[in-house]
Chains A and B, each alone.
Chain A
Amino acid sequence: MTTTSDTNDTTNLPAFPPVRPASCPFDPPAEFAEWREQDGLKRVEWNGNTVWAVSRYHDIKTALADPRVSADTSGKLIQEFPGGFPVFPRMDDPEHNRIRRMLTKDFTVKRVQAMRPRIQEMVDIALTEMIDKGAPADLVHDFALPVPSLIISLLLGVPYEDHEFFQEHSNVMLDMQASREQHDAATTALFMYLMELIERKEKDPTEGLISRVLHEHVLAGDLERFHLAANCVLLLEAGHETTANMIALSTLYLLHNPEALARLRATDDPKVIAKACEELLRYLTIVTSLVDRIAAEDVEIGGQLIRAGEGMILNLPAGNRDSAFFDDPDTFDIDRDNHGHIAFGYGSHQCIGQILARAEMEIAIPTLLRRLPQLRLDVPLESVDLRHGMGVFGVHSMPVTW
């Protein structure tokens, strides 16, 4: 068994994540099945570190539930945030949950249910604009990206007139091709903008999370102003990169599964729509390398001793195709019971926005399919620009026609 000291040689280790083949972007890389079957835990190279890729469903949940497995990897596995701003997903409990709970009020089942009419409205507007511009369109640029962007802006309380500034900088922040300087500049610009917005809202309270947390927690002394700004930059980024890619990649997948497409297009039953979206979440599991952790103490996962200080990547796409938990996991099946899938992670850090994400998918995808019965890809599948090697898989752009 290797020790931490001789794991600096990364030349023979596989890179994480491996690339998905262009001909079948809907399945996780083929290597994952091997990794799951062989040892469950595999040494890989990720972000300049040597870490354990944890690929079995049960091992992933065990690790994410273990208090010795720390989410505070800033400066250790991932670069320190500009200025060192802490965000709640990179904290451990109890401090993580203390801050998370200041934000959760806006993401509850009831709150999201109440947002559904606005979500539908935004979906309808974005679609009408796209249709009026005329085919062909880029589904990502014209639909999949603006819809979640507008919704998270609404939830946060970012004024509509600022949404282009917001979107421009978010796009740079999320752009893997952009340089480190460009990323930092975009993150800083957004952070400064939010600090200024917070000041405005102190004088003039408004709807939305920023104003609420400012008045309920920051002014009460429970949270620093800049913590609020930093967490909002995170919510903004997390709130639309993931959902945008699920909307786009799900559409791409459904265009290649005519039976599922027809069924989703024809149904009015919210249960069928919900089940289809849940299966898309499991089957596609776009969050590939965002869930990194570090052992705060020695911990055993799947029979492997992980020493204090060693890093892990929780390989969600691999876990969601694990036959130890799912029957016939590589089959897309709208009717299966897929409760317990880990597309949103597991443990106390499980995605704060998951209920909102589901609502967005459940509204955006069926509306798109119904309004454009002739929707099709305008290029061969192999030439679609896929987000290879990125933390969140999906498509950079998706030319469509109708």
Chain B
Amino acid sequence: MKVSVESDKCVAAGHCVLAAAEVFDQNEDDGVVIVLNDDPDPEQYDAVRQAAQLCPAAVIRLTER
């Protein structure tokens, strides 16, 4: 699974961090999303899918093989 974000549209709601703290963080300046690991392990897939679902601005893009 590859993870990417359209950070321009991020509104810093923080759901992704709450859902998958090992994959997402918020930057210090304005809380906008940072992808810590764009190729997460299979154990993290469910959490990452949830993050994508919950994102209110729908900026998380998952490419699943």
Q: Which residues of A contact B (CB under 8 A)?
A: 65, 93, 97, 100-102, 104-105, 107-110, 339-340, 345-350, 352, 354-355
Closest to A350 in B: B56
Residues on B with beta carbons closer than 8 Å to the beta carbon of A345: 56
Closest A residue to B57 by beta carbon equals: A348
Q: Is the CB of A347 within 8 A of B54?
A: no
Q: What per-residue 1/0 map shows which CB atoms of B25-49 lie under 8 Å from chain A? A: 0101111100000000000000000
Contact B58 A65 (CB under 8 A): yes
In the complex formed, the residue of B with least CB distance to A347 is B56
Interchain nearest-CB distance for B42 vs A (Å): 21
B24 (CB) vs chain A CBs: closest residue: A109
Known: A109-B17, A109-B18, A110-B26. A104 touches B12 (CB 8 A): yes
Task: Flag if A105 contacts B31 (CB, 8 Å).
Answer: yes
Cα of A110 to Cα of B17 in the assembled complex, Å: 10
Q: Is the CB of A104 within 8 A of B31?
A: yes
25 A-B contacts (beta carbon < 8 Å): A93-B9, A101-B12, A101-B30, A101-B31, A101-B32, A104-B12, A104-B30, A105-B28, A107-B14, A108-B26, A108-B31, A109-B17, A109-B18, A109-B26, A339-B53, A346-B56, A347-B56, A348-B57, A350-B13, A350-B56, A350-B57, A352-B11, A354-B13, A355-B14, A355-B18
Q: How far is the CA of A348 from the CA of B6 in the complex (A)?
A: 13
List, in ascending order, chain B residues with CB within 8 A of A348's CB.
Answer: 9, 11, 56-57
Assess whether B26 is in contact with A339, with CB atoms less than 8 Å apart.
no
The 7 closest A-B pairs by CB, nearest first: A350-B56, A104-B12, A108-B31, A104-B31, A101-B30, A109-B14, A108-B26
Q: Give the residues in chain B near A97, CB-CB below 8 Å.
A: 9, 11
Q: Which of B12, B17, B50, B57 contacts A347 (CB 8 A)?
A: B57
What is the bound-complex CA distance between A104 and B30, given in angstroms? 5
Task: Tell me the smallest distance from the CB of B61 to a CB of chain A, in Å.
Answer: 15
Closest to A355 in B: B14
Q: B57: which A residues are within 8 A, CB to CB?
A: 347-348, 350
Alpha-carbon gap, A81 to B61, bound state (A)? 38
**Please, which residue of chain B has its CB at the minimum distance from the CB of A96?**
B11
Judging by beta carbons under 8 Å apart, are A108 and B14 in contact?
Answer: yes
CA distance A107 to B26 in the complex (A): 11
CA distance A253 to B14 in the complex (A): 28
A340 engages B17 (CB within 8 Å): no
Residues of A within 8 A of B32 (CB): 101, 104
- How many Å lie between the Cα of A352 and that of B12 in the bound state? 8
Residues in A whose Cβ lies below 8 Å from that of B29 = 105
> B9, B12, B32, B53 — which one has the most chain A CB atoms within 10 A of its CB?
B12
CA A105 to CA B12, docked complex, whole Å: 9
Contacts of B58 in A (CB 8 A): 65
Q: Cβ of B26: which chain A residues have Cβ within 8 Å of it? A: 108-110
Q: A104-B12, A348-B9 are in contact. Are A340 and B53 (CB under 8 A)?
A: yes
4 more A-B residue pairs beyond the given contacts A101-B30, A352-B11, with a C-beta to C-beta distance below 8 A: A104-B31, A105-B28, A108-B31, A350-B11
Take A105-B30, A108-B31, A109-B26 as given contacts and tell me if A100 and B50 are in contact as well, using a CB distance cutoff of 8 Å: no
Which of A93, A340, A350 has most chain B Cβ within 10 Å?
A350
Shortest C-beta distance, A92 to chain B (Å), equals 13
Cα A269 to Cα B14 with chains together (Å): 22
For B18, the chain A residues whose CB sits under 8 A away are 109, 355
Contact partners of B30 in chain A: CB under 8 A: 101-102, 104-105
Determine the residue in chain A with the shortest Cβ distance to B17. Answer: A109
Q: Is A107 in contact with B31, judged by CB distance below 8 angstroms?
A: yes
- Which residue on chain B has the smallest CB distance to residue A111? B31
